Structure 1
Amino acid sequence: MSHHHLSLYEREQLALLRVKGVSFREIGRQLNRSHSTLSWEYGNKAKYGREYVPCKAQEKAEKVAVDQRTKAPLKNHEVFLYVREKLRDEHWSPEIIAGRLPIDHPGQSIHFETIYRYVHNAKKTGRKRLWRFLTNHHHRRRKKHGRSVKVARYLRATPLVQRPVEANDRKIVGHWETDNLGGKISDKTTISATIERKSRYTILRKLKNKSSIRKIHSIKSGVEQFPVEMRKTLAIDNGPENAKHRLLKGAFKDGVYSCQPYHSWEKGAVENTFKKSRYFIPKGTSLDSVSVHKVQLIEDWLNHTPKKCLGYKTPYEIMKQELELLKQQGGAFQVRM
């Protein structure tokens, strides 16, 4: 008895003999097939009283065979669903997804380049356009380090090279960076970001105007919720919003420092934070139209998204650990995070 799939000829004979009233057992004997195979074939391809059409039954069978031999995207179904959920719903980057996957699903792994290739493969993703969920929304893959860095103007303040060396390797908590998110030139409002270098903990504030006084007030109100031991230094650029930076020296016990000319990457934490924020506030968007509530949602997302540099922990988790450690060392304070 044959164990191969039914051929078009066999399906035609099945249809012809059934019309003549021949039983499945008799057809099976004539075709050297199991009567149960023929019965299932006829019932599956002619449901709800429909006519059994051999050519259509053959097309359906061939399509099923092709689908069964098609490799599941992204290694397996479990990994595929995890990647799609974190990319589309949580807005995680492929690198974060690849790093967090073994933690959430032990035994599973995937390289972030595999995710990037899948996202940018139009043949596999079809109309999903998953590139829309990437940080920069690039529908085509770009070369690494292919774009130049914006240059910051120099601010006459204590140069960053004089900042305590301990701030450079990000091993000590308490060193901060700040900057304003760029919007349209005509915008009256802006968004201030202040980031702690070690934990990457982010404080976002919607400012009613771009004045230096408003900027200074937002920084102080944000960082003074933390104990003085966690407020050591602040790195700023030479923008006019930082003109009154001397008013911040009391908030940071080791002083305020400015980046060197053509060294905007010296406050890389805040620059990277703005890059991630562009998913929610694309370039060219008027910040006047961005609500305070949306800014708070972005801040929460930034602080509760795992980061590779933190061992795939979140900034909130790292900052909480630092506060608990400081408390065990004898600190008396109360923090709202």
Structure 2
Amino acid sequence: MPADQFLAASSRIIESIETVIDGKRDAVEIALTVLLAEGHLLIEDVPGVGKTMLARALARSVDSSVSRIQFTPDLLPADITGVSVFNQSDREFEFKPGPVFANIVIGDEINRASPKTQSALLESMEEHQVTVDGKTYALASPFTVVATQNPIEMEGTYALPEAQRDRFMARISMGYPDARSEMAMLRTRATSSPLDAISPVVGTAELAAMIATARAVYASAAIEQYAVAIAQATRHDAELRLGASPRATLQLVRASKARAALDGRDFVLPDDINALSVPVLSHRLIPAGRVGVTVGGYSGETMAEIVTRIVSETPVPLGSRGRG
């Protein structure tokens, strides 16, 4: 896809989302970055700040199949993946696909379900397939999970397992709106939901072309070396017990390619790596000296500070400032 068409399409998506989510451009851009990088997004924050609204606005702005899963303590894995049902007329089992069979899957309050149910998403998020009763079923392409969760200090929540967190390309927080945005919300949502006015601004074929364009962005060997150096540094940092996985390094580069494309470039800069290091890496790390602690039980701000420090201490390799 030509750069001007890519930028025009991405601008339409951002503008569409911002009719619902005002004053959160950084969160909106990261959500779109994850979608174009074929990753999964975790939105963590306190109730009522627009986590689900952002997920739904992103899904409605794209003409693709969308499903929503409301995670509850009694939700079962089969409620997500689907189940084989015996067909009396054919005298054989027939697979009934679950809500995971969609281009965009919204997982609302994912950490209110048990770890067993949360784990039902592991295969689908990593391998884009589901195995039920020994049979494997491919998922739609593109496939993105946008999940929301409340901080684990909230009543009735379970911490996401490390393997589950590591499948999310990025984690973001919404934060409270500023006074102007909150006043505008009071006026625009007095009688109806702004989601009702959102219609798709990008078709499925156009989205696929945008994803292909982001995937084709050039990342030099020096950029890859920079990403690896940051990941390696997290594994040897005295404040961390668990550093970034190789999957995290891969997803950091993929996300950086999408960010570069959104900035109108066909090559990755160190600034792309720097800008995405916190949302891509911080939720995967576990601090030292606290056995069994989950990242949700540790200050997110502190984890962000650790990642920021590591990035600032990692030298930028020569030759990483352009295509050369």
Confirm or deny a common fold (TM above 0.5): no
Higher strand residue share? 2
Q: Name which one, 1 or 2, has greater alpha-carbon Rg.
A: 1
Where relative contact order (Cα < 8 A, 6+ residues apart) is larger, the structure is: 2
